[in-house]
Structures are given as C-alpha cells and as structure tokens.
Amino acid sequence: MTTDIGEARTLIEVVGAYADSIKSKDTLKNSHRELHRFVQWCGPDRSFQEISPSEVGDYAEQVGGTGTTPAATERLQVVRDFLSYARKKGIISVNLAQHVRIRKSKSRVSGKRTERDADAIELTARGHKQLVKQLEKLKSERAPLAIQIQKAAADKDVRENAPLEAAREQLGLVESRIREIEATLKDAVIVKTSRGKAARVIKIGAKVSIKEMSSGKQSVYTLVGRTEANPLESRISDVSPLGKALVGKVSGDEVEVDAPRGKATYSVVKVS
C-alpha cells in the first residue's frame, strides 16, 4: 500500500512515503537500513515537524565520528537525500539536510608522527584567537536557548508553536556553527610570523601594499586563510583571485588578476 504524502505526519510515515518513491531495489535496501537507524534515533512516532536541526546534527556527528568510520559517508548521504526529499515535498519547512555534515576522511602515514592532510586549515594567530572566542560565546548560548525551548514547549499545540520552532532552529544553527568551528580548530595550523628574507615573501599572515597599474591606486591587504577573510577589514583569502595571485610574490613583482570587472595588473609595493 502506497503512503500518501498529503497524509504523512510522523517520521515513520514520511520514511514510508520516501521508500515508495525509490525505484531501485538495491538503493531501497540500503536506504531502508540506514533510515531505520535514523528513525530509531529520533523516535518513529514523533511528528516530523518536531525534529530539530541539533538532533540531525548530533546524529551525523555520531555516525561520522572522526571521519574514518567505515561507510559513514554513504550512510549519511542516505539521510541527507531523505531530508532533502522531505523539504522538496513541503513536508518540512526547515532545510534539515544542511545539518548532515559529512567529514572528509583523513589520510595518515605510518610512523610515530601523524602528518596533516591537504585539508589542514592555516590560520593567523589573530584568526585562531577570534575563533576560540566565538566558540566560547556560542557555547554560552546553549543553556538560554534550551530554556526557551522548554518554555515554548509548554504550549501543547506544537503544530502552531512559532516560538518553539524558532528556538529549535536557532539552537540548531548554534550547534552547527559550534561543530564547524571545532572542526576548523582541530585541523588548524597557526602560521608563524616570518623573519629575515622569508618575511619578504607573500604568504598567509603577510601585510601587502599593492598598486593598480592602470589607475595608480594603492591598497593595503592582509592575506589570510579562507575562514578569516573579511573584505571590510581588507583581509583577503589566499584562495581569492587576488590572494592566489599574490602568494609567493615579493616586493617589485607584478601580478595579473582576472577580476569580475575584467583583468587588472598590480605591482607589489611592500610586504611586511
């Protein structure tokens, strides 16, 4: 018997409707196994609308582990596809799929020391300090939000409880950002300030003065990693078009950049 999407209410009912939409038997078998785990984690008889982003994030964290858990990527992709389906069908209004974060597996080498992989994130000392401070602030918001949820949940009409949904979504966003920062800090490498000749070469942490050749306009930027970029503070990422062109250059060098407004040529005036 096919489950009617229009009548789907509980999590288990929505899973049934999703299963009916899968045509491949192999896909259905693999999806059924993983979705059964997800349903048991959340509670099969709960209304789908009650599932919070933080619960989804916690499940992804439990399945993903450190990024080396066998078949974690495949398992989490099943859940992500299911949640995307529910959002697309209008069963849920919140995009829960974005909270299913899949860790990239880490490549390791033998020996006493573990080398960082290509995903290592370079941070300036300032950027690292800011992330630590932001993490502490976010963690302090957990308890107040939990209290808001408890108070809002006292209203038994959960379906029309906007404050409850808003508090749950906010907590989900906070938890998601906490996990993101923790993952960044875990893989972070603090870039040390160079001295001598090495200080003249542009790399992350360098302060660079450049001049646009066509207009003669001079600008000063600090080159940072992608997580620290802030154009309003003249902090540009090493993966931005300009930042990528400047990496490895020294005072006196010229670089050509493909910018949105067209190609531009810059001269490196000073590196500090």
Domains of the chain (ranges; CATH) run: 1-105 (1.10.150.130), 111-190 (1.10.287.180), 196-271 (3.10.50.30)
Return the percentage of the chain with pLDDT > 90, whole number: 9
CA separation for the pair 272, 262 (Å, rounded): 28
Q: Can you read off the two tokens belonging to residue 31?
A: 């999806």
β-bridge partners, 188 = 121
Query: Quick one: pLDDT at residue 196?
Result: 52
**Weakest-pLDDT range from 80-84, 199-203, 213-217, 263-267:** 199-203
Report how far apart, in Å, the C-alpha atoms of 158 and of each of 5, 42, 142, 166, 171 are.
Answer: 20, 17, 21, 12, 17
Residue 195: pLDDT band (50, 70, 90) is: low
Query: Quick one: pLDDT at residue 200?
Result: 77
Q: Can you read off the two tokens belonging to residue 120?
A: 């290592």
What value does the mean pLDDT of the chain take? Answer: 78
Between strands 262-271 and 207-212, the pairing is: antiparallel
pTM of the model: 0.49
Residue 269 has pLDDT above 90, yes or no: yes
CA separation for the pair 172, 158 (Å, rounded): 18
CA separation for the pair 18, 12 (Å, rounded): 10
At 37-54, the pLDDT tens digits run 787 777 777 788 888 887
Task: Tell me the residue type at 254.
Answer: E
Please, are residues 123 and 181 in contact by the beta-carbon 8 Å criterion?
no
At 152-171, the pLDDT tens digits run 777 665 556 677 788 888 88
The DSSP secondary-structure symbol of 234 reads T
E strands in the chain: 121-123, 188-190, 207-212, 218-224, 235-237, 254-259, 262-271
Q: What is the DSSP string of 135-160?
A: HHHHHHTHHHHHHHHHHHHTSS-GGG
